[in-house]
Amino acid sequence: MTSELGAAPRLRVLAADHFPDTADTMAALVRAWGHECDVAYDGDEALQAIEERWHDVILCDIAMPRTNGFDLAMNIRRRFGRLPLLIAVTGRVSLEDRLRAWQCGFDHFVTKPADPAQLRRLLENPVEG
């Protein structure tokens, strides 16, 4: 779906983070870039949102209560395969966390505080991001 001739397709994005300010800020940015964005404040809410409505991209914190981002990613991959695009947006920066994120099915890993330009590039061109 395109909003105008030559425009990038509008995406449906889910911003999932247990800090409401972070989730709401990511959602505001995504909306300002012309996409739809839903918000979830923990892993269980994120899973419910995904079950209720398809999302092209999930921006997901790892250290969420109830269902963490690693478990959420594995659940999404088991149920839906290689889509949607999963982007970890997290303060966890160790090599171990990065490796585990890839193993659990994340496509990209962004450290907090997230660079808005990097997030936008990933939404516009996830292969080159």
Q: How many domains does the chain have?
A: 1
Residue 66 burial (CB count, 10 A):
14
Asked if the structure places residue 116 within a domain, the reply is yes
Asked if the structure places residue 3 within a domain, the reply is no
What's the pLDDT score for residue 9? 67
CATH code, 97: 3.40.50.2300
CA distance 83 to 96: 24
DSSP state string for 57-91? EEEE-SS-SSS-HHHHHHHHHHHHTT-SEEEEEES
Answer for the pair 112, 19: CB distance below 8 angstroms, yes or no. no
Residue carrying the six token digits 């972070």: 22
What's the pLDDT score for residue 8? 60
Answer for the pair 67, 28: CB distance below 8 angstroms, yes or no. no
Asked if the structure places residue 102 within a domain, the reply is yes
What is the tens place of the pLDDT at every residue in 95-121? Answer: 999 999 999 999 999 999 999 999 999
Token pair of 42 as six digits? 């923990």
Answer for the pair 14, 58: CB distance below 8 angstroms, yes or no. yes
Kindly give the confidence (pLDDT) of every residue in the chain, 129 residues in length, as a single tens digit, with 9 standing for 90 and above: 444 444 566 999 999 999 999 999 999 999 999 999 999 999 999 999 999 999 999 999 999 988 999 999 999 999 998 899 999 999 988 999 999 999 999 999 999 999 999 999 999 887 655
Annotate 115-128 with three-state secondary structure: CHHHHHHHHHCCCC
Asked if the structure places residue 129 within a domain, the reply is no
Question: Which domain, by its residues, includes 19?
Answer: 12-123
Asked if the structure places residue 71 within a domain, the reply is yes
